[in-house]
A = this chain, B = another copy of it.
Amino acid sequence: MIYLVVFAVESFIKKDFSFMNTEHFHTIVIGAGSGGMTVAIGLAGLGKQVALIESNHVGGDCTNVGCVPSKTLIHLAREFKPGDNPDEVLREVIRKRDALRDKETHEVRETKNVTFIQGLAKFNTAKELEVALKDGGIRKITADNIVIATGARPRLLDIPGLPSEMVLTNESLFDLRDAPKHLVIVGAGVIALEMAFAFQKIGTKVTMFALDRRPLTTSIPEASEAIQAELAKRGITLHLGTVAKACDVSTQSLILQSGEEEIVLRDVDKVLVAVGRIRNLEKLDLEKAGVKVDHRQGILVNSYGETNVKGVYAIGDVTPTSAFTHSANAQGRRVVQRIAFPYLPIAKNEPLFPNATFSDPEVAAVGLTEQQLKEYCHPGVIKRIRVDFKTHTDRGYTDGIENGFIIVDAVRLTGRILSVTIIGPRASEMISFFTLAISQKISLYKIYRLVFPYPTYSSGILKVADFFMRETLTNLKGELAAYLKYRFAKPA
């Protein structure tokens, strides 16, 4: 008993001292993007005193320069009709973005238990930060927990002769008030593809080039093939294995190099650089807190978002996890649970992170990546089922789908689903069916018994189960033999 009293008094004194020197919070969150907001609002809602620090706009990439403006543009581009004004589309994107930003900023400032601080934070110790306030001055604050959620920024590219006013990144793209006549996009990843399809729809000529040998390298090659076919169908040229050599401003030409070949793109207005992202870590003085950083993977965290330093957490783009808003949110939710209810059980593994690219058609995937499949399973134990919307579903027929499919990699015989990729007009909505199925270990046998509304794209999911059943039941002996042979074999 006496120990408890001593402990309480000591704690009180410690806290008291810290209050005298600096402001003390239960938790400080650095970065008011999706992940940071999830943590700040989550903990504040549980009655914890939270400081939320942001050097730029509330809402982070997602609201300001990411999902929100890009999906608004994609939506408006889809509705774009001949005769519509493309500049008006871009201005509507800005209006909607600004309205949401204002709303979120207002909400954060009004949230009970959240102290919003506008400024740039750096560590003094693992418990203390120094914030260079936007309005001038320095503010020192301490906390029991500090959550790093500073996100990332676009990587830039040095193209000789290219004037900065011609260069766009996702950070400047959505301030554009006039649609470019000819937009060149560097890169062939998620952002590059989403913007290529959207700008093409509002009448901009789009040319892409990338060093990669295929677009969307994070997906399976079949997805890259389908996307390449769709780009070609829409008249979007994509030069692969290609780098920029120089820009000639006088003629508005961009000179590219593809192997031996020189390619000249003419009448280029704007160049959107979408070649990857850099974590915002340099200004944090992480070494003062002793937080370990891997120069390739960012801040290393366990599945609860804990760094190597007790009380310091990291979530979102600064960590090695997939750089999606929903990943940052999910990590944020886990950190809230960990900080607020440290003794409550929490699933040891991170949840399954699906991903989605809002190109046209959309690409979505969940489960093991190609690399993980290779590492974890012998190829002999995997059965790949492919259902093409065009030939295997009536909806693909009525809607004239040319490039679209569901590809499922499952364990032979057992029908356990390992990995799914969907390309189609509604892939981003369909993928959650499989997130549920994989996380709840629901096999293709059980899916075979479900009824899907007709005629939907999702009825292709039933076809996957059909094909699996047919191939398994008509060759039961072979499937059993392969399963037994390869189930515990080393990955090839």
Chain A positions within 8 Å of B, measured between CB atoms, are 34, 62, 67-68, 71-72, 75, 81-83, 96, 100, 324-327, 329-330, 347, 351-356, 364, 394-395, 397-400, 426, 428-433, 435-437, 439-440, 442, 446-447, 449-459, 461
Contacts and interface: CB of A to CB of B under 8 A. Distances in A.
Contacts of A330: 451
A451 B72 CA distance: 22
B325 A455 contact: yes
A239 B324 CA distance: 47
Given A75-B399, A326-B453, 19 more contacts: A67-B455, A68-B455, A71-B399, A75-B400, A96-B398, A326-B454, A326-B459, A329-B454, A347-B449, A351-B451, A354-B451, A426-B429, A428-B458, A432-B453, A432-B456, A432-B458, A436-B437, A436-B450, A440-B440
A67 B453 CA distance: 11
Contacts of A100: 394, 397
- Which residue of A82, A355, A394, A442 has the most chain B CB atoms within 10 A of its CB atom? A394
21 contacts: A34-B454, A62-B394, A67-B394, A67-B455, A68-B397, A72-B398, A72-B399, A81-B81, A96-B398, A325-B455, A329-B451, A329-B454, A351-B449, A353-B451, A354-B452, A428-B453, A431-B453, A436-B442, A436-B450, A439-B450, A440-B440
B449 A428 contact: no
Contacts of A96: 397-398
A452 B432 contact: yes
A5 to B, nearest CB: 32
Contacts of A400: 75
Q: Does more than half of chain A's interface fall in helix, strand or loop, or is it mixed? A: helix
Nearest to A327: B451
A398 B68 contact: yes
A93 to B, nearest CB: 9
Nearest to A441: B440
Contacts of A68: 394, 397-398, 455
Contact of A428 (B72, B351, B456): B456
Contacts of A394: 62, 67-68, 71, 100
A125 to B, nearest CB: 34
A352 B62 contact: no
Contacts of A83: 82
B82 A456 contact: no
A461 to B, nearest CB: 7
A75 B398 contact: yes
A174 to B, nearest CB: 12
Contacts of A62: 394, 454
A436 B433 CA distance: 8
Nearest to A400: B75
A198 to B, nearest CB: 12
A34 B451 CA distance: 14
Given A397-B68, A455-B325, A450 B426 contact: no
Contacts of A453: 324, 326, 354-356, 364, 428, 431-432
A325 B454 CA distance: 6
Contacts of A351: 449-451
Nearest to A71: B398
B456 A447 contact: no
A399 B364 CA distance: 19
A450 to B, nearest CB: 6
Contacts of A347: 449
Nearest to A395: B71
Contacts of A447: 436
A419 to B, nearest CB: 16
A458 B436 contact: no
Given A75-B398, A440-B442, A432 B454 contact: no
B458 A429 contact: yes
Given A82-B81, A398-B68, A398-B71, A435 B450 contact: yes
Contacts of A398: 67-68, 71-72, 75, 96
Contacts of A329: 451, 454
Nearest to A364: B453
Interface centre among A62, A71, A400, A456 (most CB of B within 10 A): A456
Contact of A429 (B326, B429, B449): B429
A234 B428 CA distance: 27
A209 B254 CA distance: 61
Contacts of A81: 81-82
A421 to B, nearest CB: 13
Contacts of A82: 81-83
